[in-house]
Structure 1
Amino acid sequence: MAAQKRIGILTSGGDCAGLNAAIRAVVHHAIGTYGWEVIGIQEATHGLMHRPPKSTRLDIEGIDQLLLQGGTILGTTNKGNPFAFPMAGGTFQDRSAEIIAGYHELKLDALVGIGGDGSLAILRRIANQGNLNLVAIPKTIDNDVGATELSIGFDTATNIATEALDRLHFTAASHSRVMVLEVMGRDAGHIALSAGIAGGADIILIPEIPYNLDNVAEKIRQRQAQGKKFCLVMVSEAVRTELGDQVTQISQQGEDRYGGIGKYIAEQIATRTGAESRVTVLGHIQRGGIPSPADRLLGTVFGVAAVNLIAEEKYDHMVAWKNREVVSVPIAEAIKTYRNVDLHGTLIKTARGMGICLGDDY
């Protein structure tokens, strides 16, 4: 058995379904198999800035009901880069040393960080600076972490988007409308492509493929000529206008955030085809709810594998899913490449084979 350890765990970046399954697995395996102590760190790196650090001791009895619970019981944050943390008065301060001090104050032997590529890059930089023992678990509904075929949260988000498209199908048919569904996808179109195929979309627009609105309009006219008076359009939030401009909205905090491309597409379709068009924006609905069985399974597999990395003292590594099994890769390698939609991959070929319009001149 590995030597007694005290390990911490935190969730960073946007929430998603399956995080609690990973937390549960880490606690079960670390305590049940190795007899270690597990400390949950609240509010990600922000919790380690507090004095004392915001944390709670986790035990098997307290986490047994987590498998079906969405979000993260530890809380999370996707704001405030610790190396340039916004302070009162509009100034910025490097607070990474406070995070390192929090790790040591909790007397941790290792830290499990669950996050996407941005969060993991920050955590790795902090770990290297403070000589912290870090292992990582990938999570992102966008499924864009380069070194893993699957990340926690993607399957649930895809299921929710597919169900939304299923429901819009009947309204579209009843009213002879074009229904545009805007889904999340910061830079990659994985959700839109997968859910669009599964939900029977007629048109799928993703950021990886530049589109021509004439092609979109022609697809709708073809359906109209065939007596099909409705159409389902799936669009990823990161898709730009036909001229290449980003469509964003200003948040209450003054930040530019994706949102509005669905409205733009719907208006363009109505203008070019005369078809009555409506738009639905799923937004954060895709992050919430009960995790799918696949995300519960993946979170559990990743949690157990992360604990095993600590037992092996194989730090600065991330667990990943490849070729139907869990592996580990150096964190630097894991976040070095960005995983966008493969334009020559199976799903693109499938979409084209099903006659789905991707907006290009193919």
Structure 2
Amino acid sequence: MGERKRIGILTSGGDCAGLNAVIRAVTRCAVDVHGWEVLGICRATQGLMSRPPQVMRLEPHKVDPILMMGGTILGTTNKGDPFAFSMPDGSVRDRSPEIIEGYHLLDLDALIGIGGDGSLAILRKLAQQGGIKLVGIPKTIDNDVGITERSIGFDTAVNIATEAIDRLHFTAASHDRVMIVEVMGRDAGHIALNAGIAGGAHIILIPEIAYKIENVCRYVKKRQAQGLDYSIVVVSEAVCTEAGETIEQTKSLGECRLGGIGQYLADRIAKGTGAETRVTVLGHTQRGGIASPLDRILASSFGVAAVELIAEGKYDHIVTWQNRQIISVPIAQAIQNYRVVDPEDTLVKTARGLGICLGD
């Protein structure tokens, strides 16, 4: 064993399945293999704002049971930019110095941040400003972190969406309905494309491929003419109207969130085809539940790799999955671009080859 270190770990941004598997892997590798101390930081950067900082000491025997658990035992938040933090009185304050001070008050040698592109960008800015030795781990059900082929949480989200589609086939066929399944995907259509193919959807609409409602209706009518009086439509929440307008819903606290494209399509498909339509919005069910075996394996591999980067003194890097192996790259490079669906992607070609309508 080398020099004894004290490292911190936090989960930031939206939750997803597999986060606890990362926490477990980091703890087991850091404590059992390297003899280090691990502090779990509660509620992401908000835990570092608190005085004293809110942390929990992580030990292998405490984290062993959390491998398959959904969510994160550390808690997380996707609200509040620490560089422009909204205060209760309506003012905005830069609270980054408090976060940086919290890191140093804990006498940490390094910090592992688990997050999507937005969270990692904020953590990197904090690290550069405050001398924080940061290693990143990508997680997002949208699978849109730039350079990695897979992010933690994506596989579980696809599994959940696929199971929902599987179940809807039977009720759609029984009632001769068009069933529309609206799935998550803030900027990219990876969940819709993957789950749609796996679930045997007839129509898949993603933000990367422009659609025409007349093409969708024509496809439904074609199936009706063939005696197939039901259809399954999978649509990403980020798909816009034909006019290019984003559909959002205002929540009770005044927040705007993507959602509603499913009902928009249902109204127009019903009008254009005469088919009875129903909408299922999966929403946050895609984030919850037991992590899939693949997400547990990926999370475990990422956690161990992140600890080894700290052991090597290789900071400002993120672990990624490329060509069936873990490769570390600079965080700035990894989050430079969103990983959206390429219209020439293999899965897009697969969908077309299966006769699935993409609306174009």
Give the TM-score of the pair, scaled to structure 1: 0.99
Alpha-carbon distance in 2 for matches of 1:280, 1:88: 36
Counterparts of 1:196-275 in structure 2 under 5 Å?
A: 196-275=196-275
2:88 & 2:58 partners in 1: Cα distance?
A: 34
Deviation for aligned residue 1:208: 0.4
- In structure 2, the partner of 1:136 is 136
2-structure distance, mates of 1:112, 1:39: 10
Residue of structure 1 in register with 2:170 after alignment: 170
Structure 2 CA distance, aligned partners of 1:7 and 1:303?
13
* Aligned AA (1:201): A
Deviation (angstroms), 1:359: 0.3
Deviation at 1:253, TM superposition (A): 2.2
Q: Which residue number in structure 1 is paired with residue 92 of structure 2? A: 92
Equivalent position of 1:73 in the other structure: 73
Q: Where does residue 350 of structure 1 map in the other structure?
A: 350
Do residues 103 (structure 1) and 103 (structure 2) align?
yes
Mapped to 1, the partners of 2:177 and 2:286 lie a distance apart of 24
| Partner in structure 1 of residue 17 of structure 2 | 17
> Could you tell me how far 1:345 is from its partner in structure 2?
1.1
Letter in 1 for 2:14: G
- Structure 2 counterpart of 1:334, which letter? A
Shift of 1:3: 1.3
CA displacement, residues 229-286 of structure 1 (integer Å, 9 cap, x when unaligned): 0000000000001111111001122121101000000110000000000000000000
Shift of 1:89: 1.9
Partner amino acid, structure 1, of 2:111: L
Q: Which residue of 2 aligns with 1:30?
A: 30
Other structure's SS at 1:197 match: helix
The aligned counterpart of 1:125 is 125
Worse-superposed segment, 218-227 or 243-252: 243-252
Corresponding residue for residue 54 of structure 1? 54
Q: Distance in 1 between matches of 2:92 and 2:262?
A: 35
Distance 1:20 1:278 in 2: 35
Question: SS at 1:39's partner residue?
Answer: strand
Unpaired runs of 5+ in structure 2?
none
Deviations 1:82-105 (A, max 9, x none): 000000221100000000000011
- Matching residue's letter, 1:47: G
SS in 2 for 1:171: helix
Aligned residues: 360
Residue 296 of structure 2 corresponds to 296
Q: Report the TM-score when normalising by structure 2.
A: 1.00
Aligned equivalents of 2:238 and 2:50: distance in 1?
35
Q: Report how far residue 178 of structure 1 moved.
A: 0.2
Deviation at 1:13, TM superposition (A): 0.1
- 1:149 maps to 149
Aligned-partner Cα distance in 2 for 1:310–1:4: 12
Partner of 2:83, secondary structure, is helix
Matched residue SS, 1:65: helix
- Could you tell me how far apart the structure 1 residues matched to 2:296 and 2:2 are? 27
Which residue of 1 is the match for residue 359 of structure 2?
359
Partner amino acid for 1:319? V
Distance in 1, Cα, partners of 2:179 & 2:282: 13
Distance 2:2 2:342 in 1: 41
Which deviations, in whole Å up to 9, do the C-alpha atoms of 1:7-33 show, x marking residues without a partner?
000000000000000000000000011
Distance 2:8 2:89 in 1: 33
3-state SS in 1 of match to 2:242: coil
Tell me the equivalent position of 2:313. Answer: 313
- Which amino acid is the alignment partner of residue 331 of structure 1? I
The match for 1:180 is 180
Deviations 1:182-219 (A, max 9, x none): 00000100000000000000000000011000100000
Aligned to 2:328: 328
What residue number does 2:283 align with? Answer: 283
Mapped to 2, the partners of 1:192 and 1:345 lie a distance apart of: 14
Aligned AA for 1:349? K
Question: % of aligned pairs identical?
Answer: 68
**Distance in 2 of aligned mates of 1:287 and 1:338:** 20
For residue 168 of structure 1, give the secondary structure of its aligned residue in structure 2.
Answer: helix
In 2: Cα distance, 1:271 partner to 1:246 partner: 21
User: How far is 1:156 from its partner?
Assistant: 0.1
* Residue type of the alignment partner of 1:297: I
